[in-house]
Amino acid sequence: MAIYRFEDRVPQIDDSAFVAESAIVIGDVRVGKNVYIGHGAIVRGDYGTIIIGENTAIEEGVIVHARPDGQAVFGKRVTVGHGAMVHNATIHDDAVIGMRATVSDYAVVGKWAIVGEMALVRNGQQIPDRVLAVGVPAQVIGEVTDKHEAIWTYGKQIYVDLTKRYKAPGAFVRIDR
């Protein structure tokens, strides 16, 4: 794993979390229980703070950063899709950030909100609880239904289970050729 102290900022990673070997975690990053940080993710707390709540998935290729003395905060059971970017924003419990979406400075994504793929949540924008937001810039197009919640509850559990599977002895083994 590429986990780095930066000056006096040292990552705090729960023992149950999985951080892929190709992921980079730098500085003041606080990682909760059963968090999945995927391959190629960059979580950079060199001059800001990043807090990742338990059972959250930071999927492959995600970039997370915070402004000086700022924070990027992820609640519990958040899903951040492949290649997304979150910069100095707050993502509340159970929210979903779609693949390649961007959540910019000081934005807030509410509980159980779903931000669609490729969406842009602009600087300071507020996405309310339990809505679907898509587009550039992101616009609310509907409410999260019981069906959405059921699908995403299942998806979130897949990553919690995957975290445990990756950490199982002998399950994830580098093969040198």
- CA-nearest of 46, 43, 36 to 68 is 46
- Domains of the chain (ranges, CATH numbers): 2-167 (2.160.10.10)
**Max Cα-Cα span within the chain:** 50
pLDDT digits (tens, 9 = 90+) for 113-142: 999 999 999 999 999 999 999 999 999 999
Q: Give the whole-angstrom CA distance, residue 132 versus residue 166.
A: 31
Q: pTM score, two decimals?
A: 0.96
- CA-nearest of 94, 77, 86 to 125 is 86
Q: What pLDDT, on the 0 to 100 scale, is given for residue 1?
A: 62
pLDDT digits (tens, 9 = 90+) for 55-79: 999 999 999 999 999 999 999 999 9
Count other Cβ atoms within 10 Å, centred on residue 108. 18
